[in-house]
Structure 1
Amino acid sequence: MCGIAGASTQNIENVSDVLISISHRGPDGRNFFQDSGVTLCHTLLSTRGQASDITQPSHTACGRWVFVFNGQIYNTVSILKLLNMQHLREKSDTLILSHLIRKYGKEFVRFIDGMFAIVLFDKEERTLHLYRDQSGQKNLYYRFHRGDLFFASELEALLSLTRFAPNVANESSIRFGAHLGYWPGSETIIRDAYRLLPGQILDYRITDKSYDTRFIGTSDYSEKTSEDFNFQNSMASVFETNCKVSLNLSGGMDSSVILHELSKAHSDIRTYTTIYKDCSVEANSEAVLAKQLSKYYGTNHLEFEVSRESYIESLVESYGVLDEPNYNVSVPVYNLLAKFQGSKEPKEKVLFSGDGGDEIFWGYPHYERSYRIDRLSKIISSPFLTKLYKFKRGRQVKFDDPIERWLFFKFWRDSFLETRITEKEISDKLKQEFDFLKEKFSHNTHNCHSTMIADRFFWLAGENFTRVDKIYMNQSIEVRLPFALPSIVHSLDEKIREERNINGKLKKRELREVYSNVLPDFITKRMGKVGWRGPLEEWYNTEMKCMFLDILPNQNSELVKWKKIREKIECSNEWPGKQAHFYLSLAILGQKFKISI
């Protein structure tokens, strides 16, 4: 993992400041390139090989291409085979990418499987090419000023790079995000600052300051097919590192499977889970299971205690780290754990997590609800079902439309905005930005599968992966997510059938069957979903209530009815819900970026 930043101009006086702004993403080295009207900055977090062997910005041997790279490439074996370079001694991702780019130019991205954000400069054509991986694990933000292109791994770094441009709140992304709790599209909280969508490419021509966007097409990143695909072998490629490894462990199937597979590659594993102080047995049930499983595998298991007091203390800092408004109530819990992990000796560098597993193995309750709608649609036509639901509930939903179906489960009615947005407006906006999903949806015979695909591109890439990257890279820790590997997702989509995994009380049935004689019964036979959600209902008290009120503005703005939010909190001693956390994070970021919201 690394930090990258740069611009289509050399007229940058604060290169050292830019490098400092992304130094937490790469404490093992920093470097930059300025030539031919281009600036490329890079900070290195070395997790494979020696830092001295990995120099970026990197130049191809032919001299035509220069690139900076953030992420990991997992199919290096197949790439070396493609290049007929199996006997290459030094096999760092950077060197392999250099050879791949030299041969295939800007289309190299079709052959790689992993998580990445890459910027490629073509000296000959005078073009810059920005890439984000298909799963959306690595963000890449960009902005235009007087026609010049600026880019960075994080929004805060981008704003540092473009400090000469005024920062104004983006009312569009805030209004749309208020109905979901986050915004998965290309817009950010800052007007005219954007991020690449999952799998998106931006091609910028320096000569005339013009650009186009496109998406990574059908990938040739692996020789694996649905016939010879091996789930365990594919996961093993994610485990390669010369660093000590650790894992966020819950009592759920996903992290348990990763622990089992990880134990084949590494003998010394450190596992973590959180326990909540002064909370119910139910709130800490996953910690009990994680401890049992850690003993079963003999890991060095650490329990990190989070209290109401520490949650309150870290709330402002934690939401500020994200750079985007977010409704997730557990953000302070994640941030506290990451800081604890970042303080350990020896230093944590590589951490594994089960994020993305639910979106492959049908782990969420709304998938079963979507499946039931599909079954009902076989009896009642979708248009009639739409009319029937509108008659009974007053809500217009086209259940045969994948994005409208997804919004049916995710849309909030928000009464705190001065100008409301309809569900149709959000649907139209998502369809416009994620037009490339039409092809993915068209391959599905069931809309419930499309619901899961929408979760991957909206929820995972827009909230989950962004949150994980921001929080952990702030502590210089690389998080690897085996279940988000594109080749694994693609292959399992062809194998796993929803009927077997969501029809019944025991979810993820096929995954449980594969590991039924491997993992202990208290994992494989446990019903119910395990999560990392902070116990806000139990923690909420007068102190937390007062802090919420201290954070929120006293006066309404042209965008938000802040007084109405305050009134809701003031009039009750019960936790106001996750919607309040979206507005808390919004107020915190307004202060951080000095923008009026």
Structure 2
Amino acid sequence: MCGINVIWSKGEITNITERIQKMNSSLRHRGPDATGIYKDQNIVLGHRRLSILDTRELSNQPMHSNDNIWHIVFNGEIYNFEEIKEHLNYNFSTNSDTEVILAAVKEKGIDWFIKQANGMFAIALYNSETKKLYIIRDRLGIKPIFYYNDEENLIFSSEIKAILSSGLVEAVFNEEAVDEYLANRYVRTPFTFFKEIYQLDPGTYLCIDKDFNITKNTYWDIPKAFNMSNQYNEDAILKEFDIELNKAIKYRLISDVPLGTYLSGGVDSSLITAITALNKKEKINTYTIGFQEFNEFEYSNIIAQKYNTEHHEILMQKEDYISNWEKLIKFKDAPLGVPNEIPLAVMSSKLKEKITVVLSGEGADELMGGYGRIYRAPFDYENEAPKIDFYDFFISKYDYVPRSMRDQFISTPTNYRQKYDNELRAEFNKASNEENVFKFFHKYHVKGLLQRVDMTTMQASVEARVPFLDHKLIEFSYRNIPYDLKLKWTSATAKEEARKGNSNKYSEILDIPKYLLRGLSYKYLPREIIERKKVGFPVPLTEWFKNLESLAFELLPKASWLKEGMVNDLIEKSKTESRAGQILWMFINIELFRRNYFQKDWRW
């Protein structure tokens, strides 16, 4: 795991070496172990290294092919690099996955390499002979890559702060992102909170020539197949699923530095911990965090004892939460999206004392239908027969801050809302409602979780790996696991009984979300872990509402994106929502972020 930077200019840039060094310095948290640059005329590549595989200096980056034509900076891991290596006839000088990328691209080409690669990655590859630059992002968008293009200068980086640190870009607040963030808790690709700074779409790569002609190639998307079969052999599918999940987790155990797991005590993290412990000879470190008001220590301890882990409990105070809030916004270069980002970051800083790689459970709910109430939207829609289309019905349940509330309080444009509404409504018309919900969560929702896991771990120089987002596992799930084994009714009569209410009342009572995953868990976990109700990772914001209210009165009267004189109304309206604390927290986040980035001149 690392940080990568690129500056490429049509003309000469003064101090280009100093600029890339400043970019590298701004990413020191992503890679404290080494720094390096490569320059060829008006292009320069920069790298910060967090050593995971082949920790020798020989594997530092930028790295160059043995004919000195290909040059790479790379953030991430290629888990199957040893398998790829077997197909190559290359004189290797390291044991790193980075050199395997260079060798594969040199001998077989970009497309061959990408097709073979199983991993998480943001890669910049430059060919000094053809003068072409390739920027590649992994299939799910686990690793970030941002860019700026003003037709004269192209700048790429793992983080926006590095693009700003180049001194070539002005920070301009993107008001259109406000509505988008309040709906989704993050800003969907390709946009960001900065005008003219964009995210590269997952599953794509750019090819750029010396005249700055850019070709965008899409090499992967959410699978087209979606299994709705009612005829299946549950035992056979369960065995296959066990094999595929074990394969995904085992891939993510390759490391030349200490490794551990997050262990909340829920099914997902407990299952990862169990399979990891069974496949590691040494005792693994596990970590959990909670608050006095709420924690799951009792459940995480059950798994820690069962698998004899070196377990660490972290109790977080309200004061720790508030003091870390603004600091973490500066790492993320965006408003925080989920309140538990702060405890996750604190936990990551603690685990860095003993380990550098951590396995995390993001993606399990998206894989198997874990958000029971909203995944049952197709059933509720059919049952309630509202006079709106399914997309409008679904999005009214999904949007975090309701549309009516956003329209009431914010003064910014809603262009992104209209853009995505039009695109998604057209997409939803092409498939079943059940399929649409699963694909929406994989294509959009999980990206916000990935931004969370990248920031919270990388700010502490820790690499997070997410086995439930292995692309082969996702393809297997869409193709081989019937919908009925993801969300299963508890009995033959449960479905009819559910028609008397909606998913807020029957979810996890009359049905079993993540049914097959829970079924597999009985092989590894105690019953009390599997059969308890899903609780997520709550932060007691509603209990702390008075503190949030004080912050709102301090910050929000100055917010240009908020309608004038609406702060009192916003606070009162927030109190009527079930997510009262979090909604007010999100509004405060925007202004905390804005005051940290847009009141200084970044150009030099």
- Shorter-chain TM range is 0.7 to 0.9
**Residue among 119, 139, 143 paired with 1:134:** 139
Q: CA deviation at 1:253?
A: 1.3
Q: Give how far 1:571 is off.
A: 8.6
| C-alpha spacing 1:125/1:569, structure 2 compared with 1 (3 Å) | same
Question: Which of 361, 365, 380 is 1:358 aligned to?
Answer: 365
1:569 aligns with 2:571: yes
1:476 matched residue in structure 2: 461
Structure 1 partner of 2:160: 155
Q: Verify the 8 A CA contact 2:151 2:212 in the aligned structure 1.
A: no
Q: Choose from 286, 297, 301 the match for 1:271.
A: 286
Gaps of 5+ in 1: 220-225, 377-384, 391-395
Do residues 42 (structure 1) and 47 (structure 2) align?
yes
Cross-structure match for 2:196: 192
Find the aligned partners of 1:257 and 1:238 in 2 and give their Cα distance.
14
Alignment match, 1:517: 523
One-letter amino acid of the counterpart of residue 491, structure 1: F
Q: How far apart are 1:41 and its partner, in Å? A: 0.2
Take 1:517 and 1:573, find their aligned partners in 2: how far apart are those partners? 44
Q: Which amino acid aligns with 1:522?
A: E
Shift of residue 169 of structure 1?
0.9
Q: Does the 8 Å contact 2:335/2:593 carry over to 1?
A: yes
Aligned to 1:7: 7
Q: Which amino acid is the alignment partner of residue 458 of structure 1?
A: Y
Distance 1:305 1:20 in 2: 32
Partner secondary structure for residue 68 of structure 1: strand
1:27 Cα deviation (Å)? Answer: 1.0
The structure-2 alpha-carbon separation of the partners of 1:72 and 1:573, relative to structure 1 and needing over 3 Å to count, comes to same
Which residue, out of 300, 304, 308, partners 1:298?
Answer: 308
Asked if 1:143 is matched to 2:148, the reply is yes
TM-score of the aligned structures, taking structure 1 as reference length: 0.85
Q: 2:216 aligns with which of 213, 216, 222?
A: 213
What is the CA deviation profile of residues 436-485 of structure 1, one whole-angstrom value per residue up to 9, with x for unaligned ones? Answer: xx6x996x6x4323312211221212x11111111211110001111111
Which moves more between the two structures, 494-503 or 476-485? 494-503
In structure 2, relative to structure 1, the CA distance for the partners of 1:186 and 1:429 (3 Å cut) is farther
Deviation at 1:420, TM superposition (A): 5.7
Distance 1:195 1:218, change over 3 A: closer
Structure 1 match to 2:231: none
Q: Distance in 2 between matches of 1:420 and 1:569?
A: 22
**2:352 aligned with 1:349:** no
Distance 1:573 1:372, change over 3 A: closer
Hey, what's the Cα distance between the residues in 1 that align with 2:526 and 2:564? 50
Q: Deviations over 1:497-523 (max 9, x none)?
A: 221231333322212222313321122
Tell me the distance in 1 between the aligned counterparts of 2:244 and 2:273: 17
SS at match of 2:207: strand
C-alpha distance in 2 between matches for 1:49 and 1:562: 57
Gaps of 5+ in 2: 223-236, 490-507
Name which of structure 1's ranges 253-262 and 197-206 shifts more when overlaid on structure 2: 197-206
2:504 aligned partner: none
Could you tell me the percent identity over the aligned residues? Answer: 25
CA gap 1:5/1:61 in 2 versus in 1, 3 angstroms: same
* 1:405 positional shift: 6.4
- 1:88-127 aligned at under 5 Å gives the runs 90-107=94-111, 108-127=113-132
Superposition pairs of residues 361-510 of structure 1, within 5 angstroms: 361-373=368-380, 389-390=386-387, 396=388, 398-399=389-390, 407-411=395-399, 412-413=402-403, 414=406, 415-419=408-412, 421=414, 425-428=418-421, 431=424, 446-461=432-447, 463-504=448-489, 505=508, 506-510=512-516
Are the aligned partners of 2:174 and 2:192 in contact in 1 as well (CA < 8 Å)?
Answer: yes
CA distance in 1, matches of 2:574, 2:417: 32
CA contact (8 A) 2:160 2:333 kept: yes
For residues 56 and 95 of structure 2, what CA distance do their matches in structure 1 show? 13
In the alignment, structure 1 residue 545 sits paired with structure 2 residue 531: no
Aligned residue number for residue 340 of structure 1: 350
Asked if the contact 2:142–2:450 (Cα under 8 Å) also holds between the matched residues in 1, the reply is yes
Q: CA RMSD in A?
A: 2.9
Tell me the alpha carbon deviations over residues 378-429 of structure 1, each in whole angstroms, 9 at most, x when there is no partner: xxxxxxx8xx523xxxxx4x32x6xx66534322211221146389615346
Match of 1:359, SS state, is helix
Deviates most, 469-478 or 8-17: 8-17
1:203, distance to aligned residue in structure 2 (A): 2.0
Contact 2:70 2:126 in 1 (8 A): yes
Mapped contact 1:553–1:562 kept (Cα < 8 A)? no
Q: Which amino acid aligns with 1:260?
A: A
Residue 244 of structure 1 contacts residue 268 of structure 1 at CA under 8 Å; is this kept in 2? no
Q: Which moved more, 1:169-178 or 1:250-259?
A: 169-178
Q: Does 1:236 align with 2:236?
A: no
> What are the equivalent positions in structure 2 for 1:57-72 lying under 5 Å apart?
57-72=62-77
Residue 52 of structure 1 aligns with an amino acid whose one-letter code is E
What's the secondary structure of 1:49's corresponding residue? coil
What's the secondary structure of 1:251's corresponding residue?
coil
CA deviation profile, 1:302-326 (whole Å, cap 9, x unmatched)? 1111112222222222333221234
**1:248 deviation in Å?**
1.1
Which amino acid counterpart does residue 379 of structure 2 have in structure 1?
R
TM-score of the superposed pair, with normalisation by structure 2: 0.84
Q: Deviations over 1:7-36 (max 9, x none)?
A: 113631323211111111111111000113
Asked if structure 1 preserves the Cα contact closer than 8 Å seen for 2:3 and 2:47, the reply is yes
2:21–2:46 contact (8 Å) kept in structure 1:
no
